[in-house]
Amino acid sequence: DAGVTQSPTHLIKTRGQQVTLRCSPKSGHDTVSWYQQALGQGPQFIFQYYEEEERQRGNFPDRFSGHQFPNYSSELNVNALLLGDSALYLCASSWGGNSPLHFGNGTRLTVT
Amino acid sequence: KQEVTQIPAALSVPEGENLVLNCSFTDSAIYNLQWFRQDPGKGLTSLLLIQSSQREQTSGRLNASLDKSSGRSTLYIAASQPGDSATYLCAVTTNDMRFGAGTRLTVKP
C-alpha cells in the first residue's frame, strides 16, 4: 500500500520562473492538503483540495495555485518565484477532513 | 487566529530518561490535535491523534494528553532511546491545520 508520493524530490529554479509540484495521495484518501515549511519552522497551510475543488486556503498569495484530478492526485503551481519561496513543500492526504493526515517526504525547492 | 507554541524549542537528554514535550494553542475550539515526528529533510510521521472529545491517546512508549479548556497538550515519551531523536511537532485543526515550530529532541547514548 503506497503512501503519499511527491515529485520531484528536489528542484532548483530561478527567480521569476514557474514551478509545478505533484502529489499522489495514499490509497483510499480523497483529500489533499499542501504545506510550505521553511527551515526551522513548522509547516504553513497553503490550501486543501476535495472533490477537485479548493476547499480551504491559508494566507498565501494568488501566485500559489493548485489542482486536484479525478484520481485525487494534486498539483501545486507557483508563479513568479521569489527567493523567499525556497522551502520544503509537503503534501498530505486524508479521508475527509477530520482523519489523521499522512504526509509525503516533500519537494525541496530552491530559488536562486 | 490560532497560534500554536511549543516549548522547549530544543531538548537534549541521556538515553533512558522519561520526558515531556509541551504544546499550547490560543483557540480552544479545535476538532483535533495531532503529534508528528519529523526526521531531518523528511516528511512528517503521525504519532498520535486526539479528537476534541478525548483527553489522551497512547501508543507504545508515547502518551499524549489534551486539555482543551487550558489550550494545552503534552507528549510524554517513556524510556527514551537514541532512535527517538527527531523534531516533534504538534498541530491543531480548526478550519485548517496549524503547526507549532517543533521541539528538536536529541537522545544521547
What does the pLDDT look like over B29-68, one tens digit per residue? Answer: 999 999 999 998 888 999 999 999 999 999 999 999 999 9
Minimum-distance CB partner of B89 among A42, A100, A106: A42
Cell of B26: 490560543
Residue of A nearest to B30 (CA): A98
| Cell numbers representing residue A75 in the block | 498539483
**Cell digits of residue B82:** 537514541
Distance from the Cα of B81 to chain A's closest Cα (Å) equals 23
B34, B43, B99 member nearest A42 (Cβ): B99
Chain A, chain B: beta-carbon pairs less than 8 Å apart = 54
* Residues facing A79 on adjacent strands: none
Residue of A nearest to B102 (CA): A42
SS3 A56: strand
Q: According to the model, what pLDDT value does residue A96 have? A: 76
Whether A97 has a pLDDT exceeding 70, the answer reads: no
Chain A residues near residue B91 by CB distance under 8 angstroms:
42-43, 101
